[in-house]
Structure 1
């Protein structure tokens, strides 16, 4: 079965998982306020490969979180993934960061709203069904009491925005799953395998992380 290395660095969580046949077999991760991705990422990669008893040459592909998220974090993860793919001559797979985050919520009905903190009351968000199918594209938006009010289903919010959003999003059908804070490479394993089986790869030379542009306009000082 194929070994795929999964790299998630879009948030404070620096996460690396090794999958075999789409199943996670090893994961190393740590979430720190100081964003220690540059120091931790390559160590985690070496550790999962060594502990699995394989070599880099046994990898069939590398999957990386495509964003949205931290500019610096995404650059570190994508640069590492590209370097491995170039060196090993294997394909690169890009995974939606918000889908990875949403995949941690195991609910039977309702909708899942993954949110990644941007700044102030701003978030990167999307909407997924309980089967993790995307219902709305990724948006950079400012959260108000009217956000998501058009959705009448039970809404499950996941991500690192609970503290600032739960005081504003107070409708009865809003539920915050506060234990699910950051995306993890564990949830990338099945997603990357599905893409691998359908040859859904990105161009190693030209792929860039998915950066959402700033959406708050600051007036110039006079």
Structure 2
């Protein structure tokens, strides 16, 4: 199965093309702001397809991050995926941005805690525990103050995500030796990790109905707040 994976949930998103039969993978990432995804996304898709010597109609399934993350970025990614899926008649798999981060760190004996900067002194976060070849939820996904997340940490925990730039010192001061930190560049691997997760879900028939799907935001956007919605 050939999976096209699109991540526009964070500032450093990208696209991956994955063939789960051969194991071939092509990934193209960007360091541009999510405001630029609307201009660069189709170009990144084209690059990945060319790297794999594929045409767009060779895609069997499309995967996309379902949130949380950048409001603008998520909307651009999902609108692109909807357009491609409807035009080509291809199924779609959505995966949580936080869970994708966690799956970059399987097999850890303690906890895994993605931390994404949600601004307004909050983070998008969750706490997961690896057990029986899968992640159990210790703290449900949501928008939290960092101290609310840290209350759930009682063992060694690997933290990952762009929120570490703002809250890394706070985490270190609070948890001491229990706090471990993934390399900052690891978050750039979201598209390839998404592609592999989507492949497993697609084989189980776990597709998303894009006619009814809404991205996970956990709170209102600035525009919605200003409109009083």
Q: Quickly name the TM-score band, shorter chain normalised.
A: 0.7 to 0.9
- Distance change >3 Å, CA 190–CA 208, structure 1 → 2: same
Superposition RMSD on alpha carbons, in Å? Answer: 2.1
Gaps of 5+ in 2: none
Cα separation, 1, equivalents of 2:107 and 2:15:
25
1:159 matched to which residue of 2? 161
Query: 1:50 deviation in Å?
Result: 2.0
Cα separation, 2, equivalents of 1:34 and 1:194:
28
- Point out the structure with the larger helix share: 2
The answer on whether the counterparts of 1:100 and 1:183 sit within 8 Å (CA) in structure 2 is: no
2:92 matched to which residue of 1? 92
Cα deviation code 1:28-83 (max 9, x no counterpart): 01122464211111100111112211111111110000000011000000011111
The answer on whether the counterparts of 1:86 and 1:204 sit within 8 Å (CA) in structure 2 is: no
The answer on whether the counterparts of 2:64 and 2:93 sit within 8 Å (CA) in structure 1 is: yes
1:1-150 alignment, distance < 5 Å: 2-21=1-20, 23=23, 25-33=25-33, 35-105=35-105, 108-130=108-130, 133-135=135-137, 136-144=139-147, 147-150=149-152
2:180 matched to which residue of 1? 175
| Aligned pair partner of 1:204 in 207, 210, 218 | 210
1:185 matched to which residue of 2? 191
The answer on whether the counterparts of 1:158 and 1:177 sit within 8 Å (CA) in structure 2 is: yes
When the two structures are aligned, how many residues end up with a matched partner? 214
TM-score (norm 1): 0.88
The answer on whether the counterparts of 2:117 and 2:166 sit within 8 Å (CA) in structure 1 is: no
- Distance change >3 Å, CA 137–CA 74, structure 1 → 2: same
Cα separation, 2, equivalents of 1:54 and 1:182:
24
- Distance change >3 Å, CA 57–CA 34, structure 1 → 2: closer
Cα separation, 2, equivalents of 1:32 and 1:159:
17
Cα separation, 1, equivalents of 2:201 and 2:208:
10
Cα separation, 1, equivalents of 2:155 and 2:25:
35
SS of equivalent residue, structure 1 residue 27: strand
- Distance change >3 Å, CA 45–CA 128, structure 1 → 2: same
Gaps of 5+ in 1: none
